[in-house]
Amino acid sequence: MTRAASDRPLAPRRIGVFGGAFDPPHWAHRAVAEVALRQLTLDELLILPTGQAWHKARPLTDAQHRLAMCRLAFADLPGAVVDGRETVRDGPTYTVDTLAELRAEHPGAALFVIMGADQWLAFRTWRRWQDILRWATVAVANRPRAEDGAPLPDLAQVGLPFVALDLPPTGLSATAARDLWRQAYRTIRSSDAPLAPDVAALVPPAVARYISDHRLYAAAHGPAA
């Protein structure tokens, strides 16, 4: 006699963890999120803007702005949820602490940590990276370490298990987006924030409008690159 479908054990939830400064969230972030949801068959992908990033020397844009931009960037992506827990945590933000919280909140869930090539190549410097590998699968989006056309890094050199996300590599970065916005402010020098095509095309339209409305990344405002 076969068991009824309702008696069968449910498959564990599959939860992705995609952290970063998101200063600002751009089209490459969006592409990584879309591929991670599809390729890893995630039930949910948590978008986690970092609080005090232990590995970044520059100050970040205020967390409330970065949270607001993430909500705009991922609002229409099914399965993506912006989670602000790291922005209210005291002290430096560590991925292992977030994973510990998620393990307690979702017992038995399969966890996946999504990151870029630069983060993966420095992974052995992360706090308690061994626990991260015990608790989660790491999925990596490869990208050139410099400008477009630079060779892709060899992710296998890290010598640790990972899943390669299947998406075209891009040289688009938040640093490039911030720099272009600052250049536009210096060029235009008007009370209206710039929305030049070469600038706004780097980020989703709603994010571009938010940056302009709040004058983020103007030369005299916001964090230095």
Cα(8)–Cα(159) distance, rounded to whole angstroms? Answer: 38
Give the pLDDT confidence score for residue 223 in this predicted structure: 41
Under DSSP, is residue 71 helix (H, G, I), strand (E, B) or coil? Answer: helix
- Average pLDDT of the chain is 86
Q: Which residues contact 25 (CB under 8 A, 6 or more apart)?
A: 47, 66, 69, 70, 73, 74, 174, 203, 204, 207
Cα separations in angstroms, 191 against 136, 185, 208, 218: 47, 9, 16, 11
Residue 112 is predicted with a pLDDT of 98
Which domains are delineated in the chain? Answer: 11-171 (3.40.50.620)
Rounded Cα gap, residues 42 and 162, in angstroms? 16
Residue 220 has pLDDT above 60, yes or no: no
pLDDT of residue 168: 85
E strand segments, the chain: 14-20, 44-49, 52-53, 80-82, 92-93, 110-116, 136-141, 163-164
Model pLDDT for residues 2-50, shown as the tens digit of each residue: 555 556 668 899 999 999 999 999 999 999 999 999 999 999 999 999 9
Distances from the Cα of 218 to the Cαs of 11, 138, 177, 188, 213, in angstroms?
48, 35, 12, 11, 11
Q: Among the listed ranges 55-69, 125-139, 177-191, which one has the minimum average pLDDT value?
A: 177-191
Residue 186 has a pLDDT of 73
Confidence of residue 139 (pLDDT cuts 50, 70, 90): very high
pLDDT bin (cut points 50, 70, 90) of residue 94 is very high
Residues 6+ apart with CB under 8 A from 143: 28, 116, 117, 118, 152, 169, 170, 171
Name residues whose C-beta falls within 8 Å of residue 202's C-beta, 6 or more positions apart in sequence. 26, 27, 172, 176, 177, 180
